[in-house]
Amino acid sequence: MLHIDAITIISLSSIAIMFYALWLVLHFKKAVPRGVVRSVWNYLVLLVLFFSLAYLTTPFFRFIPEDIMRFVAAFIFFFGAIYVVITVRLTYRIIKGLSEEGLESDASKIKKMSKDISHILYRIPNLTEKGKQEIISHQAGVKLEYRWILVLIDGKSTIKEILDKARGVDNTPAILIDLINEEYVEITQTYDLIGEFVKIASNVLGKDSKIIIRKLNECSYKHDSILKTILEVKKNVHAVIGEDKANMVEIEMKKAASRVTWL
């Protein structure tokens, strides 16, 4: 009859936990995508199975001769080391995969945002009294992601800048539209990009900026033509004044344009 003592209780508990781990890896295997991660996961299943079977023998270790026991212990430690290596590598690959997926997802979201709401990226939203009261009182029970967007609206940031700050929130454009429709937010200002370009030309080029400013004043704001406008200005400055000034103008104009578009 097996003698029940503290060591035996711990051994039996370990067996139960190990078989629970075996059930987990078999259960989670269904959700693991095919490929390298699935192949590594299969090795993990085999190792957990090995340890589960090995743990079954632990209550009987007292009956095993010492020389054999040393061999068994060394064998288990060896596979334990392999188990740890595979677990670490598997965890790393999963984290790396999730990170890459997240970056790709962010990039696609930004691209979609740019396409869907490009006509209002240069607008500057502001909180209505209703929006301000909601931030203070929380009375209307606005969802957390909606409240987060409300907090980001400072009356200075453009729609594009708010989208950048709220990258972790799904469907930010739709949330903004809902907040406008529900009268928590209103559009009261427009970011004058062409006006900013004129200021940059004047500051960087000084008295040589007259021709460039005249051409800029003839431009109308179009989201799709911002980069084209900047490159055209750079080309003209390079031809008339020089490369250094042209590069300075380009850098400053792109910085200003970054408030309303993704270049």
- 70-100 tens-digit pLDDT: 777 777 777 777 777 777 777 666 666 555 5
Query: Which residue in this structure is represented by tokens 């080029």?
Result: 205
- What are the tens digits of pLDDT across the range 39-62? 667 777 787 787 777 777 776 767
Q: Residue 161 corresponds to which tokens in the numbers above?
A: 């800048």
pLDDT score for 207: 84
Segment 14-37 mean pLDDT: 72
Question: Is there a single domain that holds both residue 124 and residue 209?
Answer: no
Same domain membership, residue 217 and residue 127: no
Q: Is residue 249 in some structural domain?
A: yes
- Pair 104, 156 in one domain: no
The answer, as to whether pTM is greater than 0.85, is: no
Assigned domain for 59 exists: yes
In a domain, 181, yes or no: yes
Q: Which of 73, 89, 114 is the endpoint of a domain?
A: 114
Residues 208, 201: contact at Cβ < 8 Å? no
Q: Identify the top-confidence range among 33-37, 50-54, 200-204, 212-216.
A: 200-204
Domain boundary among 143, 162, 190: 190
For the segment 97-123, the average pLDDT, to the nearest whole number, is 57
When pLDDT is cut at 50, 70 and 90, the band that residue 1 belongs to is: very low
- One domain, residues 22 and 66: yes
Do 11 and 107 reside in the same domain of the chain?
A: yes
Residues 109 and 21 grouped into a single domain: yes
129 within some domain: yes
184 with 197, same domain: the answer is: no
* Domain-located, residue 1: no
Across the range 190-209, mean pLDDT stands at: 86
214, 163: one domain: no
**Residue 136: Cβ-neighbour burial (10 angstroms; 0-12, 13-18, 19+):** exposed
12 and 102 both lie in a single domain:
yes
Report the mean per-residue pLDDT for the chain: 76
Q: CA-to-CA distance for 38 and 44, rounded, in angstroms? A: 10
The answer to whether 26 and 45 have CB atoms below 8 angstroms apart is yes
Whole-number pLDDT of residue 18: 77
Q: Is residue 262 part of a domain?
A: no
The token duo for 16 is 């139960």
Asked whether residue 132 is assigned to any structural domain, the reply reads yes
Asked if pLDDT for residue 231 goes beyond 70, the answer is yes
Q: Which of 190, 205, 222 is the last residue of a domain?
A: 190
Give the residue, 59 or 204, on which the prediction is more confident. Answer: 204
Residue 153 and residue 92 share a domain? no
Whether residue 57 is found in the same domain as residue 149: no
Full domain range(s) for residue 206: 193-257
The answer on 104 and 53 residing in a single domain is yes
Number of domains in the chain: 3
What is the predicted pLDDT for the residue at 13? Answer: 80
Task: Answer whether residue 247 is part of any domain.
Answer: yes
